[in-house]
A = this chain, B = another copy of it.
Amino acid sequence: MHALSKQVLEKEPRAVARVLRLIDDRTPPFSDILRDLFPHTGKAYVVGVTGNPGAGKSTLSDRLIEVYRKQGKTVGVIAVDPTSPFSGGAILGDRIRMQRHAEDPGVFIRSVATRGHLGGLSRSARDMVRVLDAYGADVVLVETVGVGQDELEITRTAHSTLVVVAPGMGDEVQAIKAGILECADVFAVNKADREGVDGTVRDLELMIALGSEAMVAAGKRRGHVVHGGASAGASAGAGAGAGASAGWTPPILRCVSTRGEGIAAIVEGLERHKAWLEGSEAGRARRRARLAEEVRDGLREALVEAAVHELGPRIEEAVRKVDAREVDPYTATEELVAAFRAGQVKPS
């Protein structure tokens, strides 16, 4: 066992920080450490926290930490910032709100910036969650900045996803609704003392109702596509319904994070979702599906990494040939795959 792995298991916070940095940079011996730690994982409850910027995710996370700490639970936080250089400042400001827990040894907070590609980010988040799990965190919060497709993917590393919405930000429910039903397990309507909160709650209720219908309709349309010949107009919609339509309807819970109101009910809503995941066939199926997804994602990334590493100069050569129209890109790709499989190339 690697010395760092041992230190993580001995609850040495500086070792955790170092391991998370290694994972962020994909620097050896990060994978050896992950292997060491894996048998010690599986105990933490992982909550994804997502929602539009300005909805109050950080303040709510801060309050969640407070409630969990009062329950005697240790908490880890991974804050994922898929930022462009433009917005860096504002988001670092957000993070600071949670820093009052920085002195508490039962809380471990870590910010991670996006590095390169998306798949890499959700993989890193998943690995970092495992480290905090092995370190002994009872709860791990994975907080993302927005609710784009990218962030939705990161929340798939969580057991439960909390979507934070606030009234008075215009069309926020409209703006987030694409994909949200597949991802939300609990809705927190934050800033519930503001005007417009009833409208926001109604919008969410309507969205859940319409969403289920729309998904049924999409299913029918898909059916039509299969039997009646492909139609470019038909929407995919596959994979939808992890929430409402599969036996779990996301509760809509009001809170005022700045005053700490309604937070206990959110923790309770999450606990109910956790119980559903563990106790129902649908919940267990979802857990297995996510694990399968991880193995497939890992396979994809490992293959590509190995191929790019080993094929390096051959890829450049293929690009030159395609550019010169000596070969088409489809044939070029096939030849690269064949070379990789046949091991005609040596690691450089």
Contact = CB atoms under 8 A, between A and B. Distances in A.
Interface of A: 20-21, 24-25, 27, 31, 34-35, 38-39, 42, 81, 83-88, 92, 110-116, 118, 148-150, 170, 177-179, 207, 210-211, 214-215, 217-218, 230, 232-238, 240, 288, 291-292, 294-296, 298-300, 302-304, 306-308, 311, 315-316, 318-319, 322-323, 325, 328-334, 336-337, 340-341, 343
B306 A235 contact: no
Given A150-B149, A296-B308, A308-B296, A303 B39 contact: no
A288 B116 contact: no
A215 B85 contact: yes
Contacts of A210: 86
Nearest to A333: B298
Contacts of A179: 84
A179 B331 CA distance: 32
Contacts of A87: 178
Contact of A177 (B84, B295, B296, B315): B84
Nearest to A304: B300
B84 A230 contact: no
Contacts of A340: 303, 341
A211 B86 CA distance: 7
Nearest to A34: B330
B294 A113 contact: no
15 contacts: A21-B232, A24-B230, A83-B178, A83-B235, A85-B211, A85-B235, A86-B177, A86-B178, A86-B211, A88-B233, A149-B149, A291-B319, A295-B329, A299-B308, A300-B300
Nearest to A328: B38
